[in-house]
Amino acid sequence: MRGGLHLRFLIGMLATLLLVLGVMGGVWWQQRAAAREQAQISREAMHQMAFTSMERRGEGLANLLADSLVNPLYYFDMVRIGEVVRSALQQPDVMYVLVFDDQGRVVHDGSHDVPDFGQAMDDPLAGAAVESSELKVQWTDRQVDVAQPIFIGDERIGGVRVGLSSAGMATLERDAVATLSQRSEQAIQRNLLWMAGLFGTLLLIGFAVSMLLSRGVLRPIGELAQAARRMEAGHFDLKLDSQRNDEIGDLIRAFGRMGDSVSRHDRDIRRIAYGDSLTGLPNRLAFRELLDESLQKTLASKAELVLMFVDLDDFKRINDSLGHDAGDEVLGQFAERIRHSVHLGGDQDAVVARFGGDEFVVKLGGPNVRDAAAHVAEAMLAELQQPMLLQGRQVFLGASIGITVCPQDGQSSSVLLKNGDIAMYQAKLAGKNCYRFYSKAMDHAVGRRVQIEHDLRGAWDRGEMKLVYQPIFRLDSGQLVGAEALLRWQHPELGIIPPSVFIDVAEQTGLIESLGSLALSQACQAALRWVREGAAPFVSVNISARQLRAGNLPEVVAGTLASSGLPPDRLHLELTETTVLSDEEQAIKTLERLRELGVKIWLDDFGTGFSGLSHLRRVPVDGVKIDRSFIADVLRDPDDLALTSAIIAMAHSLGITVVGEGVENEGQFAVLKERGCDHAQGYWLGRPMSGSELARRLVS
């Protein structure tokens, strides 16, 4: 039972009544004890008074008889003695009168024949009565014996004994005590009735106070508590008011005003907490609540429900190259296109939400929901591939979509969200700008990624990793002038793991810093061996964004060059364009320090980061590598040919060397050579090879 105020009051009231009852019981017990003590004292006092009275009466009668019997006893006048004795025996309570001589022999007992005449008195009191020379009073349970010696002059001639019965006095005493006890008991009963009446009055007062407390205080407080529980459950329509002018009324009215205020704030907070300020879509929190409700209805009706995870491909490139304002504009247009595509699907109850960043989630229902999801995904991809106009230029973006179906893939929101995220990740691995339905096999892929992360730690020390070198040639002479160091991983169980897989894992876990340092050191040692064998090619090593952001890259490079002995101009460091542009100011400072060491700086994947001439003028680089995506279509796409030609011309105007990546055929080689490109690399020119094989090719 909850210890409320009413219960506490009742417990306190009960304790008080029990205390009062205990006090009354103590008083009643004390009164009875006092009455018993008073009766005992009265009994003793009456007993004492009665026997004192008998003693005095016996003394007076004995003295009177002694005076009357002096002469008759001296002259031995038996007749006179008999008359005196019989006269005394007629008085109330006189049991016997014995006249005896100085030897203690019976002279007269009031009878006519005096049967004990001349015999010695043999009762227990006789000895003390005969021997006493003065008045002697003796007591037994039944009588008072008073003995008075009789003298003539100084000569004792005998004595007289008077025995008075105590039975009558005891009867009077018992009657008096009984009367006293009866009156005392009556007084106690009256007091008990008074105490019972007082206790009953206290009970009535307690009941009345309890009712007043319940009606005037506890019931309003209970109503306020119920209103608070309604507010806690999200119901703010309390409508509390009171006409009372006391503190309780003030509290009720204040509580009502508080409910109105909380209701207003709740609406504002829900609008902020459940909505995305940038796109106007529901956010993650709102979507989770909507999803939980939809799942209950879906499972109850044995229907189906689909979640679609939509993630913008390479969105970070927008923020890094064009700024966050442009990124926000992209997200706004992206959200509007998703809404349009979903509405084309025909599901009026569909929900589109932004989970954060560039990730959106769509909930679809209805019949044939799997086919409908595929149709919406295709329409969405087609819509999202349309160019977006940002800062006066067209930007082409794509999206990766992961789809999961309830109840086949899961029946809880957490499981469905996890599966949808896994499917979306698989769409990215499949090349992006596509959609994938979740399957249990994808869980295996996720487990494989976890295994890769675990096995990547220590893979270098176990000898599973090695560097291979892809040769770089001059286009005008066909001379091998350098090589790009590429990291390869031969897993003992999974076989060769592509760099696109394990480099991404290493970047996310931070292992890229240690792997990058080890690769840099081994590449410098290999290049030094080439120099000692009579060749003088350079070696280019890729630097990740995490290594650049670490801040100690110049010190790491300087230490590696010092320990290996490689001339600094034989080392080229490659950084992607987006890596440099993500923090251009800090990157420029780091690159300047690296160039002071004598190493060369190249921009890799140039043309994919929306950079231009202004960036190349500010960033201290020695060369750029045209991204393979432009080289691949240089023979078929006039735009790619024009862009490639522009990059070459722009770089040469700044004195920057240009390398074409991904040369796969003679036609691409010829186009690059015709446009004046300095260097080229690709499978048509040479595949990645070991350091010793490259050394043999250098001297051949």
Q: 484 to each of 47, 471, 596, 624, 625, how far by Cα in Å?
A: 136, 7, 22, 14, 12
**Distance, CA of 513 to CA of 506 (rounded, Å):** 8
Q: Looking at residues 290-309, what average pLDDT do you find?
A: 87
Whether 439 shows a pLDDT value over 60: the answer reads yes
Question: Which one has a higher pLDDT value, 483 or 577?
Answer: 483
Is the confidence at residue 392, as pLDDT, over 50? yes
Cβ-based burial of 20 (10 A; exposed 0-12, middle 13-18, buried ≥19) = middle
Distance (Å, whole) CA 625 – CA 661 = 6
Average pLDDT, integer, range 230-236: 70
Contact indicator for 403, 425 with CB cutoff of 8 Å: no
Q: Which of 328, 339, 324 is nearest to 282 (CA)?
A: 339
Q: How far is CA 290 from the centre of its chain?
A: 25
CB 625 within 8 A of CB 602: yes
For residue 111, the model assigns a pLDDT of 87
Per-residue pLDDT, 685: 93
* Beta strands 435-437; 359-365: pairing state: unpaired
Q: Under DSSP, is residue 538 helix (H, G, I), strand (E, B) or coil?
A: strand
Domain ranges for the chain: 1-61+170-233, 69-165, 235-270, 284-438, 453-699
Alpha-carbon distance of 446 to 175, in angstroms, equals 111
Percent of the chain surpassing pLDDT 70:
93
Instruction: Return the pLDDT at 610.
Output: 45
Task: Inform me whether the pLDDT recorded for 3 exceeds 60.
Answer: no
Spatial neighbors of 627 by CB under 8 A, at least 6 apart, are 605, 606, 607, 608, 661
Model pLDDT, residue 450: 78
Most confident segment among 412-421, 450-459, 626-635, 663-672: 663-672
- Region 386-399: mean pLDDT is 77
> Structure tokens of 139?
């007591």
User: By mean pLDDT, which of 44-58, 136-150, 290-304, 312-326 is the weakest?
Assistant: 312-326
Q: Look up the CATH number of domain 69-165.
A: 3.30.450.20
**Residue 320 reports pLDDT greater than 70:** no
Structure tokens at 407: 């109840």
The predicted pLDDT at position 554 comes to: 93
Q: What is the enclosing helix (H) or strand (E) of 188?
A: helix 167-213
Least confidently predicted of 280-294, 580-594, 682-696 = 580-594
**Position 333 pLDDT exceeds 70:** yes
- CATH number 3.40.50.300 given to 453-699: no
Give the Cα separation of 287 and 438 in Å (integer). 20
**Please, which contacts does 514-518 make with residues 24 or more away whose CB atoms are closer than 8 Å?**
514/460, 515/460, 515/465, 515/487, 516/541, 516/542, 516/543, 516/544, 516/547, 517/556, 517/560, 518/460
User: How many Å apart are CA 7 and CA 682, to the nearest integer?
Assistant: 88
Where residue 244 falls (left for φ over 0; alpha for ψ -120 to 50; beta otherwise) is beta
Give per-residue pLDDT as tens, 273-283: 777 778 888 88
- pLDDT value at 353 more than 50: yes
pLDDT band at 1; cut points 50, 70, 90: very low
Please give the share of the chain, as a percent, with pLDDT higher than 90.
Answer: 22
Weakest mean pLDDT among 110-119, 176-185, 195-204, 284-293: 176-185
Q: Inform me whether the pLDDT recorded for 446 exceeds 80.
A: no
The predicted structure's pLDDT at residue 583? 63
Residue with tokens 């960033």: 619
Does residue 260 surpass a pLDDT of 70?
A: yes
Distance CA 208, CA 473 (A): 107
pLDDT surpassing 80 at residue 181: no
Rounded Cα distance, 436 and 106, in Å: 147
Averaged over 404-416, what is the pLDDT? 88
> Within 10 Å of residue 271's Cβ, how many Cβ atoms?
10
Residue 139 has pLDDT above 70, yes or no: yes
Evaluate if residue 648 carries a pLDDT over 80: yes
- H helices of 69-137, in order, are 70-75, 78-89, 126-131
Res 211: pLDDT:
79
Q: Is 469 helix (H, G, I), strand (E, B) or coil?
A: strand
pLDDT at 416 over 70: yes
Return the DSSP state at 474.
E
CATH number of 284-438: 3.30.70.270
pLDDT at 606 (0 to 100): 81
Residue range 601-645, pLDDT digits in tens: 998 888 765 445 556 677 888 999 998 888 988 898 888 899 899
Q: How confident is the model at residue 44 (pLDDT cuts 50, 70, 90)?
A: confident
- Of 644 and 199, the one with more pLDDT: 644
What integer pLDDT is reported at residue 234 of this predicted model?
67
Average pLDDT, the chain: 84
Q: Is 315 a residue whose pLDDT tops 60? A: yes
Q: What is the mean pLDDT of the segment spanning 295-307?
A: 87
Query: Closest Cα to residue 384, out of 471, 311, 298?
Result: 311
Q: Which two tokens stand for residue 238?
A: 């309390």
